Amino acid sequence: MSAGWTREQMAARAAQDIPDGSYVNLGIGIPELVAQFVPEGREFIYHTENGLLGMGPPPADEDRDLDLMNAGKKYVTALPGAAYFHHADSFSMIRGGHIDVCVLGTMQVAANGDIANWSTGAPDAIPAVGGAMDLVQGVKQIFVITQHTTKTGDPKLVEKCTYPLTGPGVVSRIFTDLAVVDVTADGFRVAELAPGISFEEVREKTGAAILPPE
């Protein structure tokens, strides 16, 4: 095992920064893992934009209800105290500023907090935005969990996004396999390095200026 954080460790690290009692929306992919790592003594209430507050873990196959799914169209459960509602209420929770934290995956995130996670902008790509643009504008705090670089080694933390934006200046903190990175008025700043990772390595793999931990 090389140095740095695994997907699970990235999710666990992000969960550490979510306050007790938060209403939380988790994006598809690594963000979904956050629900497995709620710190001892805290309770998060999960919102899924297709109309459920109080979402629980996936059911056993024999307990599936075909009408109970999450925004990623996976079967889920409803915990005691859950509520169902229609889409306008669901997005009032998002757009009305009632959700505390949203954890998203991304293709690119820029030093000014811009995020691009919905389209490559390629001519033959079929655009599919879902609720991403609503979430980044409406939720109080936007966290990103992502590998520090793409599969081909290109930086995902960049000076300026080259893909079409999901929203400008919305991301506050980024959890990668190498570090926790804050978006500050001075650009990227490392808040914490993963075990065995040097600031030099993070700087080399970041596509923008980045400040060392304070």
Partner 1 sequence: MINKQYASAAEAVADIPDGATVMVGGFGASGSPIELLHALIDHGATDLTVINNNTGNGEVGLAALIGNGQVSKMICSFPRSSQSKVFPELYRAGKVALEIVPQGTLAERIRAAGAGVPAFYTPTTVGTVLAEGKEVREFNGRPYVMEPWLKADFALIKCEVADPLGNLTYNKTARNFSPLMCMAATTTIVQTRTLVARGGIDPENVVTPGIFVNRVVEVPQPIHEDVLIAEGRSYP
Closest CA to 207 of 169, 164, 152, 160: 160
SS3 32: helix
Q: Does 140 bind partner 1 (CB under 8 A)?
A: no
Does 130 participate in binding partner 1 (rule CB under 8 A)? yes
Compute the half-sphere exposure of residue 196: CA atoms within 13 Å on the CB side of its CA. Answer: 7
Q: Does 94 bind partner 1 (CB under 8 A)?
A: yes
| Distance set, CA 129 to CA 17, 82, 117, 126, 165 (Å) | 27, 27, 9, 10, 11
Out of 131, 139, 149, 158, which residue is the one contacting partner 1 (CB under 8 A)? 131
In the bound state with partner 1, the residue whose beta carbon lies nearer, of 38 and 78, is: 78
Nearest distance from residue 11's CB to partner 1, in Å? 22
**Is residue 155 involved in binding partner 1 (CB under 8 A)?**
no
For residue 8, indicate whether it is catalytic: no
Residue 165 touches partner 1, criterion: CB under 8 A:
yes
Give the span between the Cα atoms of 125 and 20, in whole angstroms.
40
Rounded Cα–Cα distance for residues 189 and 78 (Å): 38
d(CA 117, CA 20): 28
| Angle at 50 (CA atoms; ends 183, 163), nearest 5 degrees | 40
Of the pair 166, 176, the CB lying nearest partner 1 is at 166
Contact between 50 and partner 1 by CB under 8 A: the answer reads: yes
Write down the least CB distance from residue 173 to partner 1, Å: 20
**Distance separating alpha carbons of residues 190 and 193, to the nearest angstrom:** 7
Of 58, 84, 105, 159, the one binding partner 1 (CB under 8 A) is 84
Q: Which of 40, 61, 62, 67 binds partner 1 (CB under 8 A)?
A: 67
Which residue in 49, 192, 200, 204 is the catalytic one? 49
Looking at 11, 23, 90, 175, which residue binds partner 1 (CB under 8 A)? 90
Q: Of residues 4, 11, 13, 48, which one binds partner 1 by CB under 8 A?
A: 48
Q: Is the dihedral of CA 83, 95, 191, 150 positive or negative?
A: positive
CB atoms within 10 A of CB 152: 5
One of 17, 56, 91, 211 touching partner 1 (CB under 8 A): 91
Per CB under 8 A, residues contacting partner 1 are 48-52, 65-69, 73, 78, 84-88, 90-91, 94-95, 124, 126-134, 137-138, 164-169
Give catalytic residues, as residue numbers: 49
